[in-house]
């Protein structure tokens, strides 16, 4: 496999220091330019301020890059949607064709694991889409969480998904779903979903101990740590759910399907809310970076 690990990252992995992986689909497909680049660089800064080593992951000319440079992050942001969104099934094609690829949660986990990185911070994961009983649209992120040994820190999953079904699939696949200082699964833009997580953890140390226990048991697969958006940036649940319904309706009318669904819905929700959702999205990623790095530090005892 063609892999390029930034020397600083490789060194930190070797020394058991807290490296934090970050994804590139959130940059190219999840947010508009230039906020995507500003956010990605700020997230790296937050990881460093908390004592971690950031490794933004993407595919450049067929090479899996674990730890992009600032210039590369800028290019992922500028080129945006013209860089294909790459999930597990797309990986061999992008590698063989030597093209660029924005890595989803699934592919970022694959490359992080290849680079020896245990922790990965993002905004939200993919899941079971509403209406999946007819469309079969279930994100490959869930399958990846079932098999790849990476811990993902996120703000839950957006209500663009069917959250109860998403939790059911995670249960079937044996993925622990933890709530960081919450009993309830956060719903991305809002702190509450009405659904319970498997277990609430009160501290980075408690989360780290669970990750350690899963690794010692050699139970393959990821751990999902859900961290609610800070109160001051959370959105009104009724308002955001109405917006999501409108966005899904428009997606169905336009006949948008498959891998285009998530980027379409993210952009549509931001458009309808006049950027309010984008600001919330940015803030929750910052918060995840801080908490995720603290958990990584607790895990490595640094
Ligand atoms: N959810 C978000 N923001 C995102 C994504 C999901 O709130 O940016 C991105 C992630 O990269 C995730 C991908 O892995 O969308 C899931 O796409 P799909 O539903 O097509 O599997
Ligand atoms: Mn899908």
pLDDT digits (tens, 9 = 90+) for 142-200: 999 999 999 999 999 988 999 999 999 999 999 999 999 999 999 999 999 999 999 99
Report if pTM > 0.85.
yes
What DSSP designation does 130 have? T
- Of 185, 181, 278, whose CA–CA distance to 233 is shortest? 278
3-state SS class at 6: coil
Q: Which residues contact 95 (CB under 8 A, 6 or more apart)?
A: 1, 2, 59, 62, 64
Structure tokens belonging to residue 210: 């669970």
- Of 121, 137, 141, whose CA–CA distance to 129 is shortest? 137
- Residues whose Cβ atom is located within 5 A of ion ligand 2: 137
Q: How confident is the model at residue 228 (pLDDT cuts 50, 70, 90)?
A: very high
Q: Give the whole-number percent of the chain exceeding pLDDT 70.
A: 100
Cis upstream peptide for 173 (omega within 30°): no
Q: Which residues contact 7 (CB under 8 A, 6 or more apart)?
A: none
- Please pick, among 23, 74, 118, 144, the residue that the annotation labels catalytic: 23
Residue 1 has pLDDT above 80, yes or no: no
Q: Which ligand is nearest to the CA of 141?
A: 1
* Active-site residue flag, 23: yes
Q: Is the CB of 85 under 6 A from ligand 1?
A: no
d(CA 233, CA 189): 8
Rounded to 5 degrees, φ, ψ at 301 are: 65, 35
Structure tokens belonging to residue 157: 């999953």
Tell me what the mean pLDDT of segment 65-84 comes to: 98
Q: Can you give the pLDDT at residue 302?
A: 72
Q: How confident is the model at residue 251 (pLDDT cuts 50, 70, 90)?
A: very high
Q: Cα separations (Å) of 294 from 191, 226, 298, 302?
A: 20, 14, 6, 9
Tell me what the mean pLDDT of segment 224-237 comes to: 97
Taking the centre of ligand 1 as the mean of its atom positions, its distance from the CA of residue 288, in whole angstroms, is: 16
Q: Is the CB of 101 under 6 A from ligand 1?
A: no
Q: What angle do CA 156, 158, 163 make, to 5 degrees?
A: 75
Q: Where are the beta strands (DSSP E) in the chain?
A: 3-5, 19-22, 53-60, 63-66, 85-86, 102-103, 119-121, 151-154, 177-180, 199-201, 223-226
- Of 49, 18, 52, whose CA–CA distance to 299 is shortest? 18
d(CA 81, CA 260): 10
Q: Is the CB of 105 under 6 A from ligand 1?
A: yes
Return mean pLDDT, the chain. Answer: 97
Q: How confident is the model at residue 268 (pLDDT cuts 50, 70, 90)?
A: very high
Taking the centre of ligand 1 as the mean of its atom positions, its distance from the CA of residue 12, in whole angstroms, is: 28
Tell me what the mean pLDDT of segment 224-232 comes to: 98
Tell me what the mean pLDDT of segment 24-53 comes to: 97
**Terminal-residue alpha carbon distance, the chain:** 31
- Please pick, among 44, 118, 144, 158, the residue that the annotation labels catalytic: 158
d(CA 70, CA 242): 37
Length of the chain: 302
Q: Is the CB of 141 under 6 A from ligand 1?
A: yes
Taking the centre of ligand 1 as the mean of its atom positions, its distance from the CA of residue 207, in whole angstroms, is: 24
Tell me what the mean pLDDT of segment 66-90 comes to: 98
Residue 32 has pLDDT above 90, yes or no: yes
3-state SS class at 66: strand
- Of 168, 187, 166, 194, whose CA–CA distance to 244 is shortest? 187
List the residue whose alpha carbon is closest to atom 7 of ligand 1. Answer: 124
Q: Is the CB of 162 under 6 A from ligand 1?
A: no
β-bridge mates for residue 102, sequence order: 85
- Of 211, 59, 187, whose CA–CA distance to 127 is shortest? 187
Classify residue 215 as exposed, middle or buried by CB count within 10 Å of its CB (0-12, 13-18, 19+): middle
Q: Can you give the pLDDT at residue 159?
A: 86
- Ligand 1: atom nearest CA of 29 is 8
Q: Can you give the pLDDT at residue 103?
A: 98
Indicate the top mutation candidate among 141, 163, 165 to test ligand 1's pocket, ranked by most ligand atoms within 8 A of CB: 141
Q: What is the pLDDT of residues 115-148, one digit of tens each?
A: 999 999 999 999 999 999 999 999 999 999 999 9
Q: Can you give the pLDDT at residue 193?
A: 96
Q: Is the CB of 130 under 6 A from ligand 1?
A: no
């Amino acid at each position: 496999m063609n892999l390029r690990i930034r020397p600083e990252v490789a060194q930190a992995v070797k020394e058991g220091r807290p490296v934090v992986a970050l994804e590139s689909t959130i940059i190219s497909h999840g947010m508009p330019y230039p906020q995507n680049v500003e956010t990605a660089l700020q997230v790296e800064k937050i990881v460093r301020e908390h004592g971690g080593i950031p490794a933004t992951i993407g595919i450049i000319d067929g090479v899996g890059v674990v730890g992009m440079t600032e210039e590369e992050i800028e290019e992922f942001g500028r080129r945006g949607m013209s860089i294909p969104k790459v999930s597990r099934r797309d990986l061999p094609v992008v590698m063989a064709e030597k093209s660029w690829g924005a890595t989803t949660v699934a592919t970022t986990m694959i490359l992080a694991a290849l680079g020896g990185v245990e922790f990965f911070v993002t905004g939200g994961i993919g899941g079971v889409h509403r209406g999946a009983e007819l469309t079969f649209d279930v994100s490959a992120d869930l399958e990846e969480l079932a098999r790849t040994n990476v811990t993902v820190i996120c703000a839950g999953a957006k209500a663009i998904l069917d959250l109860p079904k998403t939790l059911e699939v995670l249960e079937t696949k044996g993925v622990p779903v933890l709530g960081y200082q919450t009993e309830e699964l956060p719903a991305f833009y809002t702190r509450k979903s009405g659904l319970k997580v498997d277990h609430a953890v009160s501290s980075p140390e408690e989360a780290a101990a669970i990750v350690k226990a899963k690794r010692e048991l050699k139970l393959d697969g990821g751990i999902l740590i859900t961290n609610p958006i800070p109160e001051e940036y959370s959105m009104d649940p009724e308002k955001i759910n109405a917006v999501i319904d409108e966005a899904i309706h428009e997606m169905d009318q336009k006949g948008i399907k498959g891998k285009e669904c998530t980027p379409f819905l993210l952009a549509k929700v931001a458009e309808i809310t006049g950027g309010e959702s984008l600001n919330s999205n940015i803030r929750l990623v910052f918060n995840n970076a801080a908490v995720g790095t603290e958990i990584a530090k607790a895990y490595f005892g640094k």
